[in-house]
């Protein structure tokens, strides 16, 4: 998939089902923000949430899809 400036602000969903919003490109890296912050978000400031996602993924567990046979 090729991301362009037209994709900024659009929602994407990873295979695990967590929606992300594309923020653009910075220094050759694609920037995304998760749209469903951790459940304990009141304990953190708005600027700290991205650090939880990046450095402590266990603090924001991913809901796994259950496949029914």
Q: Is the dihedral of CA 34, 36, 46, 52 positive or negative?
A: negative
* Beta carbons of 48 and 40 less than 8 angstroms apart: no
In degrees and rounded to multiples of 5, residue 61 shows phi and psi of -60, 145
How high is the pLDDT of residue 15? 53
How high is the pLDDT of residue 20? 73
* Beta carbons of 33 and 20 less than 8 angstroms apart: yes
* Beta carbons of 38 and 54 less than 8 angstroms apart: no
pLDDT single digits (tens) 42-56: 555 555 555 445 555
Does residue 66 surpass a pLDDT of 60? Answer: no
pLDDT single digits (tens) 2-18: 777 777 666 666 555 66
**0.75 cut: is pTM over it?**
no
Which ranges in 1-69 belong to alpha helices (H)?
A: 49-55
């Amino acid at each position: 998939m090729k991301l362009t400036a037209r994709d900024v602000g659009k929602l994407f969903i990873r295979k695990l089902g967590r929606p992300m919003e594309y923020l653009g490109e910075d220094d050759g890296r694609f920037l995304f923000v998760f749209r469903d912050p951790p459940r304990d978000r009141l304990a953190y400031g708005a600027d700290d949430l991205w650090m939880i996602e990046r450095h402590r993924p266990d603090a924001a567990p991913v809901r796994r899809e259950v496949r029914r046979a």
